[in-house]
């Protein structure tokens, strides 16, 4: 679960990097934007999953056994 959450958080961070540097949203490019209703829903699902992974990773900040978090 930790590796999955961290992977999703990294993907989210890289997406924000692309938005910040190039004003290009990878998730929207892959799953569509406002024009396609189904694609827009898929984008929202991806954003929600990445956000939930970020919330999960907050708990990792307070763990003492970080070296065993493999």
Provide the residue range defining the domain that includes 58.
Answer: 2-68
Question: What pLDDT score does 2 carry?
Answer: 85
Q: Domains in the chain: how many in total? A: 1
15, 22 in Cβ contact below 8 A?
no
C-alpha gyration radius of the chain:
14
What's the pLDDT band for 19 if we cut at 50, 70, 90? confident
d(CA 9, CA 15): 10
Question: What pLDDT score does 37 carry?
Answer: 58
The string of pLDDT tens digits covering residues 29-50 is 887 765 555 567 787 888 888 8
Question: What pLDDT score does 51 carry?
Answer: 87
62, 7 in Cβ contact below 8 A?
no
């Amino acid at each position: 679960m930790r590796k999955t959450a961290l992977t999703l958080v990294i993907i989210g961070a890289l997406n924000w990097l692309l938005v910040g540097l190039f004003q290009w949203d990878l998730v929207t490019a892959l799953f569509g934007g406002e024009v396609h209703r189904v694609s827009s829903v898929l984008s929202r699902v991806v954003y929600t999953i990445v956000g939930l992974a970020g919330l999960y990773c907050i708990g990792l900040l307070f763990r003492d056994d970080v070296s065993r978090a493999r």
